[in-house]
Amino acid sequence: MNFKTIFLGAMALSMVSGVALAGALDEPDNMAPFFTDSSMKTMKSEADFKAAWASTAKDKQDMMMKECQDAAMSKPHAEFCANLMMYAGHK
């Protein structure tokens, strides 16, 4: 076998294996400002949620909004995304 065949096979296998990359909603540093507890189970009040959103960097806001608009990405974060759409809204 030649090197090219081995390389392409390994690359195809890695793509098929479904290795998921963590998104903005999976980063604890991005999500912590929106929750009252370290376990990130209880979200902050509407006013505090809006304040946390306002203090979030624009690039992170864009990534979070994009992930919340993707059904597959937002599913594990459904409650957060619902609040994000309601409180932060579409600008």
CB neighbours of residue 79 within 10 Å: 10
Once rounded to an integer, what is the mean pLDDT over residues 49-73? 93
CA distances from 62 to 1, 6, 9, 37 (A): 46, 39, 35, 24
- Report pLDDT digits (tens) over 40-59: 999 999 999 999 999 999 99
What integer pLDDT is reported at residue 16 of this predicted model?
44
| CB burial string 32-61: b at 16+ within 10 A, e below | eebbeeeeeeebbeeeebeebbeebeeeeb
